[in-house]
Amino acid sequence: MKLDTRAMRHLASEDWRVLTAVEMGSKNHEIVPTPLIEKLARLRGGVSGVHRSISALAKVGLIARVKEAKYDGYRLTYGGLDYLALHTHASRKVVYSVGNRIGVGKESDIMVVADHSGKQCVLKIHRLGRISFRTVKSNRDYLKNRNAQSWMYLSRLAAMKEYAFMNALHEEGFPVPVPLAQSRHTIVMSLIDAFPLRQISEVPDPASLYADLISLILRLASHGLIHGDYNEFNILVKEIKSTDEDGKESVTLEPVIIDFPQMVSMEHVNAEMYFDRDVNCIKRFFLRRFHFTPTQPGPFFKDAKKTVGKGGLKRLDATVEASGFTKKMLKDLEAAIKEKETVNEGQEGAEEDEDDYDEDGDEESEEEEEEDGDDDGSEADDGEGEGRQEALLTGGLS
Ligand code: ADP
Ligand code: MG
């Protein structure tokens, strides 16, 4: 599923009201009955106006008609949810235009967007439950048992959790993108001008970058946190160029960490496993890519555990609960992320020894590949940030 903002400008304010009504109705109804949409939208033009908007929205795929034995109605599609989120970001003047897609995660779309002043930012759209690509049959069976509502619910939770942690980490001075806004299943953050570690074939001093990355793991731990997916895709490496007094140029590398929906507390029952996995992921990558082996063993969980909250360090693991997450929400999200990991492991197994970015860097399904052949998407996935920005503003946004 790809974000296509072309229809956005053609929606009238009544259409937005009706779309919002379908979203509201979805809270209690898997399929929102038409009379309920009419009631929630309360358009001045009356029922016929609502029906006109319903057709317009269904035509561009923002809502979908569902025929049930009991009653007919509509459900919000992922596209509809995307539009509502973008509409909110646009009304709050966070996003003015949408540009290229720079990343397709297994469970997200990453787009470059710009605000009114033209400043570029990143929009991350969570799509939990979108396990597709070279899927094995069991994934398809698993998908069948999931209804769209639970995908949306989980994607929303992922965005909320990621935003809460990004805020907390940013406030504590960690090198993370600046969190700018969150709406539904999306977040807006600053654009980091850097490549993922995965794309870096050589570094002047692997030992020093390794030490920085391990010390970030330890610093997170001292605040009660484990990243949980600390790999070469989720570490961006900034190159800071400087010139000394003699005119000699040097480059220092500065890691920036991203991707936080799966973060766990140092108190989690499986904390040690997650901690060790993060550490080993870095070790394995440095060995394979840079032929680097650290001289010291560890770091070890039991030592890191002793540093949690030491000297009055702020505990950040309580962040998520403090931001309104219930235990059930956390459990639901954790279960979904675990399922995703199991599927990912199955896929990665086959490509374990491939170290070439180009070969497995593109995770798109064939269907999506075809869609990208059209004029709007053809340049979207080449990783180059520059491109056309599609303005969002519509008559409905007054
Ligand atoms: P996922 O949860 O799907 O793994 P990520 O948050 O890790 O999503 O983002 C996927 C990719 O998008 C990253 O590997 C990175 O290349 C790019 N990316 C994400 N956020 C940013 C950002 N703020 N600035 C620059 N690139 C980013
Ligand atoms: Mg990632």
244 is catalytic: no
Is 384 a residue whose pLDDT tops 50? Answer: no
Q: What is the span of the domain harbouring residue 148?
A: 93-191+361-391
Residues 310 and 206 placed together within one structural domain of the fold: yes
Model pLDDT for residues 287-339, shown as the tens digit of each residue = 999 999 999 999 999 999 999 999 999 999 998 888 888 888 988 899 888 87
CATH code of residue 229: 1.10.510.10
pLDDT at 398 over 80: no
Atom in ligand 1 nearest the alpha carbon of residue 192: 24
In a domain, 85, yes or no: no
- Same domain, residue pair 13 and 114: no
Distance of CA 28 from the midpoint of ligand 1 (Å): 33
**Pocket perturbation via mutation, ligand 1, pick of 124, 169, 337 by most ligand atoms within 8 A of CB:** 124
pLDDT tens per residue across span 103-130: 877 789 999 999 999 999 999 999 987 5
Q: Is the pLDDT of residue 377 over 70?
A: no
Residues 212, 280, single domain; the answer is yes
Whether 340 is covered by a domain: the verdict is no
Give the dihedral sign, CA 383/389/390/391: positive
Same structural domain for residues 200 and 185? Answer: no
Q: How far is the CA of 41 from the centre of ligand 1 (A)?
A: 36
Type of residue numbered 189: M
Which of 166, 236, 260, 333 has the most ligand 1 atoms within 8 A of CB, as the residue to mutate?
236
Q: What's the mean pLDDT in 185-207?
A: 96
Q: Is residue 22 part of a domain?
A: yes
Number of independent structural domains in the chain: 3
User: Do 182 and 199 have their domain in common?
Assistant: no
Q: Which residues line ligand 1 (CB under 6 A)?
A: 102-103, 105-108, 110, 122, 124, 177, 189, 191-192, 196, 233-234, 258-259
The verdict on 220 and 299 lying in the same domain is yes
Specify whether 200 is located in the same domain as 320. yes
Q: Is residue 263 part of a domain?
A: yes
Q: Of 301, 325, 349, which residue is a domain's last?
A: 325
Give the model confidence (pLDDT) of 139-190 as tens digits.
Answer: 444 444 445 568 888 999 999 999 999 999 999 999 999 999 999 999 999 9
Clarify whether residues 34 and 16 are in a common domain.
Answer: yes
Residue located nearest, by CA, to atom 17 of ligand 1: 103
State the distance from the centre of ligand 2 to the C-alpha of 179, rounded, in angstroms: 16
Please tell me which residue in 82, 229, 259, 381 is annotated as part of the active site. Answer: 229
Query: Which atom of ligand 1 lies closest to the CA of 233?
Result: 14
How much is the mean pLDDT over the chain? 84
Alpha carbon 334 to chain centroid, angstroms: 15
Taking CA atoms only, the protein residue closest to ligand 1 atom 25 is 192
Ligand nearest to the CA of 259: 1
Mark whether 186 and 200 lie in a shared domain. Answer: no
**Is 344 contained in some domain?**
no
With respect to residue 250, please indicate whether it lies within any of the assigned structural domains.
yes
Q: Are 207 and 296 in a shared domain? A: yes
Q: Which of 122-131, 357-366, 369-378 has the highest mean pLDDT?
A: 122-131
Q: What is the CATH number of the domain that holds 129?
A: 3.30.200.20
Residue 335 falls inside a structural domain: no
- Give the mean model confidence (pLDDT) for residues 341-364: 45
